[in-house]
Structure 1
Amino acid sequence: MADNPIDLDRLTEILKRAGAETIMPSFRNLEDGAVREKSSAIDLVTEADEAAERFIKTEIDRLSSGILFVGEESTAKDRSLLDKIADADVAVIVDPIDGTSNFAAGIAMFSVMAAVTVKGEVVSAVVHDPVTGDTVRAEKGGGTYWLLANGDSRKTRVNWPVPLDESIGIVSSTYFEPKARSALFRRLDQVRVVANYRNSGHEYRMLATGGCHFNLYGQVMPWDHAPGTLLVSEAGGHVAFADGEPYHPSRHHGVLVSACSRQTHRSVTTKILGIERPLS
């Protein structure tokens, strides 16, 4: 198991407290003016996002002054943070509310997420659901565990691979170019069930705990994917960009596919994305 510079129990507790103290009091209770658009009508930020990120950053700063903090809202103000991940001795990448649109609409499907990186490699991750109190977390080389709110803990595994026409896939088409999106839609009839929950934390949890067979994303900001990809990898899945390159949080472009097996990954890239390449 990889050395983890931040105690995983401590990180988990920070995210749980952020959920209980700064997020849940505002859920279905947002005041007028508490929700703002960032880049578009589907790219939102709320006062709870900002409060949660401030809370988490304060707690992380207490652990060590040498930790690079890369939060979604912090990066909106300082994009240079993205360029520092690859070389940082230790970085914590945070999405204070993943699924802000759901949160703002009063839909109980959002997450608080964090990943720890060492020289750009993800070594641990936590995805916490403040509504149910459940947490799924992983350490590199140590497996993925589902911590239930009642105190029970279980090790998770991805689902068994099945033919593509029997598979359950989660597909986020939002950030595909129009022509690529149209081509993607035409090929999705090869999948048995296609879903999108607008919450990558929940979607990665589903894949890591056997609830689906693959996830496909056209935008790869690190706070959306660094935590979940480790959950999937440590649960026995295969994560790579459609061009075959392994996931790395310092890469911010390309189509990312996470799957329950290498063969499922290949089926998605060739049959759904139309990309022919050797099986890696």
Structure 2
Amino acid sequence: MSPDLPAVVTGPLSAAQQTSLINIIRRAARTEILPRFRRLTTSQIATKSRPDDLVTEADTAAEAMIARGLAAMFPGAVIVGEEAAMDDPSLRDKAAEAELAFIIDPVDGTWNFAHGLGVFGVILAATRYGRPVFGLIYDPLADDYVIADHTSPAHHISATGRKTVLTMSSGGPIARLSGFTHMSLMPKGVQKTLAPLLTAFNRTDALRCSAHEYRMAALGHADFILSGTLNPWDHAAGVLICQRAGGAAKMLDGSDYTIAQNQGYLLTAADAATWDAVAEVLDPLQDTAAA
């Protein structure tokens, strides 16, 4: 292990550490993800909790490669990959209690990836006692990423290395807001409550990929994101990046988001005023139970 890469960090990850993490993600994408894109056979795709909840050889191979790199850099950290957590759910609790944990989504948007749709990404978050302190969302096809830590502004880094500060949208009247919702992942009873509420907004969509939804929001191209499925590998990085881009992210009941949360609704919005306005529209959801 390099002397400038300690097992556990108490402050922000250094620039050298962040560069090393980016390089790990890039190598995994080039080695395990991109060579399999649009080349998967049916034997390389399996289902998990639902017929449309997929896992591919790219997911498992990339997660293993990223986890190895993280373990070499930070042997004292808890490392939780989406696929490992499916086999051992206790990893989520361990990460929420850890001084330093890394949360990996090796191929976010697996359904898209498995069907040849280029809307997928790699998500990596670092948390301290359950609170996100570093977030990275990498687009393998564009070879660019959005990134933030808990002490610095969020940035977009292009494939050529150009660095741009991220700023969330300016919000506006409810009728002009657009956002992403994960309604199809909610119980049917919750969907019946939520569906009429969404007519208050200009537009609501879902990309089947949290990586690109949070990226779009952080770039100012969406005003809010609502989710009732609180997998930390989907949200920890994006929440931090949006917050550091000027946005607000909290549970719909107003409590802070941590990766220990496994029930309720997570709302991320352009700023505090937009969060309040969207939360007021969505308040009837508080009388329902998210899955």
Structures share fold, TM-score greater than 0.5: yes
Q: Report if the CA contact (8 A) 1:174-1:218 is conserved.
A: no
Correspondent of 2:12 among 4, 9, 27 = 4
CA distance in 1, matches of 2:157, 2:119: 17
Q: Is the aligned partner of 1:239 residue 2:249?
A: yes
Q: Is the aligned partner of 1:140 residue 2:150?
A: yes
- Aligned-pair identity in percent equals 33
**Paired letter, 1:4:** P
CA distance in 2, matches of 1:230, 1:250: 15
Structure 1 residues 30-71: Cα deviation after superposition (integer angstroms, max 9, x where no partner): 023000010111110001000000000111111132111010
Q: Is the aligned partner of 1:108 residue 2:125?
A: no
Q: Aligned-pair RMSD on alpha carbons?
A: 1.3
Correspondent of 2:23 among 9, 13, 16 = 13
- 4+ residue stretches of structure 1 with deviation over 3 A? none
**Paired letter, 1:94:** I
Higher helix fraction (1 or 2): 2
Secondary structure at the residue paired with 1:85?
Answer: helix
Q: Is the aligned partner of 1:120 residue 2:130?
A: yes
**Paired letter, 2:62:** A
Secondary structure at the residue paired with 1:127?
Answer: strand
**Paired letter, 1:116:** A
**Paired letter, 2:102:** V
Q: Is the aligned partner of 1:168 residue 2:174?
A: no
Question: Which residue number in structure 2 is paired with residue 211 of structure 1?
Answer: 221
Q: Report if the CA contact (8 A) 1:5-1:90 is conserved.
A: no
Q: Report if the CA contact (8 A) 2:12-2:151 is conserved.
A: no
Correspondent of 2:161 among 132, 151, 155 = 151
Q: Report if the CA contact (8 A) 1:57-1:69 is conserved.
A: yes
Give the structure-2-normalised TM-score.
Answer: 0.91
**Aligned-pair distance for 1:206?**
0.8
- Which stretches in structure 1 are left out of the alignment for 5+ residues? none
- Which stretches in structure 2 are left out of the alignment for 5+ residues? 1-9, 287-291
**Aligned-pair distance for 1:12?**
1.1
Structure 1 residues 72-111: Cα deviation after superposition (integer angstroms, max 9, x where no partner): 0000111110111222121100000000000000000001
Give the structure-1-normalised TM-score.
Answer: 0.95
